[in-house]
Structure 1
Amino acid sequence: MKDIFTCAFCKIVRGEDFKVREIARNSKVIAFFPTNPALLGHCMVIPRRHVESFSDLTDEEVKDVMLAAQSLSKGVQQAFEPDGLNIIQSNGEAASQSVPHVHVHVLPRWENDRVGEIWPPDSDYQESEKDQALAQLKSNIVLPKISVSSEDKRQHLAFAQDIISRMSQSSSNVKSWLLPVVTATYGYAFTQESIAVALLGMIVTLVFAFLDIGYLRTERMYRNLYERIAAEDTSIPPYSLNYKQTQETRKTIFLEHFAIIRTWSIGPFYTFLILTGLAAMSMPVLSNSEFWSQVIEIIKIIQND
């Protein structure tokens, strides 16, 4: 309790510092100019409750303080049009905290201003030292779980389901558009013994197959995303529709496409159409009597030998 009555910032909270240049206050925070600003436009925001360390703030206090700092930064940018902006929060004397009450500095910056560089030159730490520091951090830090309301989750799932439905419908449309085309081309190729038209039908089939595989791959990726959203995967930001879990490589993309080709809706369907096209292309050859005469002659020669 003694700290509350001796803290310079608590006096501002209570309205007992009549020299303070106060900017604004609400029920949660107070914003003001520091006694000795580093630059004109330099301002600070503090929580009303006396808290010495940023890590001791409640979740709501963190939200209130940082939202206020964001509002101050917007006001500073509009009022002074600086070249840049520093948002600084210090804890402990070693970090230059002079008043043991959490505060955030909003500091406008200009090129070659009196503050100068606030970061030291490039460090020369060994890779092993950085790896060790990373391991220490990872073992001691757990990011807060983002709470998502049931309505937000339902809407997020609806967005993912909408894409799944569209991809499925697109895949179905591809097959619906392809069938009349191959029926016409292969039918003409069979009746007129046209190799060119049969080849055209096969090319069209391959193009549509490529489109279909793309639609089905995208559908599969979003089905996976849908399941992760339903399972409340915290790595997915609210309303994000980015289905990528890891960095895609040529190998992973190839394996995903190959897995789609092996499915019943792709492999058997397009294989049958390609084989039909090959049969149409072979018709002119198979119906040629001269071709069969040559085949018979070759068989006789083999038998005589």
Structure 2
Amino acid sequence: MKALVVRGSRNLFTLRTDEGETECRIKGKILKAVEGYYNPLAPGDIVEVEEGQIIGLEKRRNGFARFNQKGQSPQLLAANVDIVLCVTTPVSPPFRPRFLDRILLQADYAGIPAALVINKYDLADEDPDTEERLEDFIRIGIPVFRVSARTGMGLEEFRDFIKGKFSVLVGQSGVGKSSLVKTLIPDLEIRTGALNEKYNRGNHTTTQPVLLDVPGLAGARIIDTPGIRRFAPERIPPEDVILYMKEFAPLAGKCSYGLSCSHETEPGCKIMEAVHAGVIHEDRYESFLRIKDEMAGVEAYPDYD
């Protein structure tokens, strides 16, 4: 029997079948095709169940993960999704564009389209730096939705965008992911939290990824994930980072030093030329260098400011 993973931790998973929801464990705690991951399954996975135990995993269409520093391996947050929705705010907590750059890179690495959802936009102070970065994301082809879960601002357009899609919400603590989910699913029993005033960042209200059905949106589903204070992409070769940033990828291999170019000092570097010409935003270039150093092990604890 096939079943859909709704949530799970350690070796106990809530599955949805034609007969309803049930809890199952992996038979023998070993499952093929999950080697190398910190966790064996994630919401969105399709598994085979026999006599109340999970015995197999259907091949994934895709998987969105983060690098788990503790386990030194990728931790899967969602599987088989149509789009990654990166939720952030203009203020409270502060706008973190380099955090967004990492989410977008990971989505591209996983082969999943992504969009930015700017919640609490009713509180925006029209900071020119924030607006410039948002317009630059739009320029390079990233959809941006300016919304407010509190006032309803922009939510109609956002609902139309996710209609019929299987989405995963990702973002820092305190940006209001749970509040957004509550606007989409009003009858859902869900806890929302206030910001930690001392540090101006959120407290975790979602403790594990969970798959939810969104009523009235043509079968839309959404995976809500716990707030992430630091997002580390999966480990990829430093020289390949260029391939997973939209406006950088077309320039890969075109520098005078080809694929061996560090894009930092070499003459004839097409990336640096694009930055000087305004084709690549200076902040995106800085993100690129930091992520590349992170992948090389030079920068173990990235600064997202």
TM over 0.5: no
More helix by share: 1
More strand by share: 2
Bigger RCO (CA 8 Å, 6+ sep): 2
The TM-score normalised by the length of structure 2 is: 0.17
The TM-score normalised by the length of structure 1 is: 0.17
